[in-house]
């Protein structure tokens, strides 16, 4: 009897070991991705950004995203070098859920297909048993923000974290940060104004000002998002939007 129990325990452990190894790999992949892709937190109604994270650059065509007015985001899959969206399966039920919230909208869902070179934010990175899922969120296009999911399927069996990241980097990479502040790394003692000098005038910002005027008043921003003719400068207490080099909005 003791030998039979020993054999049964050995068989159970042999079956559990691969599962435990797979969980360790998932944890390692999640850790690496969370470290590389800083998440953005949208507002509760998804109409704006509450906390800005990493800006991602897309390197493939064909990523479909829906207006954030829909309750459920569409999901696309990257496989064999292409981004595709399956109209059946889970996406069928996603669209069904959207049309239930917005009746008669099955052909009227506001959507946009993103292509190579476009940029957006990442709101989640989930490592599941069958794949890695990114939640994506765009800046406004004609006043409309879009969101969607992109899934990278994981093959069965052991998958090194380096291989997963390499596949993801075929499609998504983090936009390099602005290095213009590197020269300011060495601290300098502030110069004290004369004791009888008048107080400095308050800093002002107004629509129509140029980027140079903003930097002259407020210094270099913490983050710059460059979307072609549109740019956004992020400061600790405000976001400044430029179109064709001039301020169009301050938040």
Q: Kindly list the domain boundaries of the chain, sorted by start residue.
A: 33-174, 204-251
Total residue length of the chain: 251
Would you state the pLDDT for residue 229?
87
DSSP code for 48? S
User: Closest by alpha carbon to 83, among 211, 171, 145, 176?
Assistant: 171
Burial of residue 204 (number of CB atoms within 10 Å: 0-12, 13-18, 19+):
exposed
Residue 84, C-beta contacts closer than 8 angstroms, at least 6 positions apart: 62, 76, 77
In the predicted model, is pLDDT for residue 134 greater than 80? Answer: yes
Q: What is the pTM of this model?
A: 0.58
Q: Stretch 2-27: mean pLDDT, rounded?
A: 56
**pLDDT digits 0-9 by tens, 99-114:** 444 444 444 689 999 9
Model pLDDT, residue 204: 83
Tokens read off for 66? 């829906």
Which tokens is 220 given?
């270099």
Neighbours of 37 (CB within 10 A): 20
Lowest-confidence pick of 31-40, 50-59, 99-108, 205-214: 99-108
């Amino acid at each position: 009897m003791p030998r039979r129990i020993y054999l049964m325990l050995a068989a159970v452990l042999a079956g559990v070991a691969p599962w435990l190894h797979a969980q360790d790999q998932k944890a390692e992949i999640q850790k690496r991705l969370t470290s590389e892709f800083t998440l953005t937190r949208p507002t509760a109604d998804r109409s704006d950004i509450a906390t800005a994270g990493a800006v991602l650059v897309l390197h493939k065509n064909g990523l479909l995203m829906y207006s954030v007015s829909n309750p459920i985001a569409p999901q696309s899959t990257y496989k064999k070098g292409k981004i595709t969206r399956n109209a059946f399966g889970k996406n069928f039920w996603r669209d069904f859920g959207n049309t239930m919230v917005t009746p008669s909208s099955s052909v009227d869902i506001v959507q946009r297909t993103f292509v190579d070179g476009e940029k957006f934010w990442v709101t989640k990175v989930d490592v599941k048993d069958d794949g890695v899922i990114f939640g994506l969120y765009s800046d406004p296009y004609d006043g409309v923000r879009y969101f969607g999911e992109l899934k990278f399927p994981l093959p069965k069996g052991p998958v090194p974290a380096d291989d997963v990241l390499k596949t993801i980097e075929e499609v998504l990479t983090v936009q390099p940060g602005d290095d213009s502040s590197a020269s300011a790394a060495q601290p300098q003692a502030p110069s004290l104004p004369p004791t009888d000098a008048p107080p400095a005038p308050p800093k002002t910002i107004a629509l129509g000002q140029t980027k140079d005027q903003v930097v002259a008043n407020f210094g270099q921003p913490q983050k710059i998002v460059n979307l072609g003719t549109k740019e956004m400068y992020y400061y600790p207490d405000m976001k400044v939007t430029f179109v064709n080099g001039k301020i169009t909005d301050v938040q």
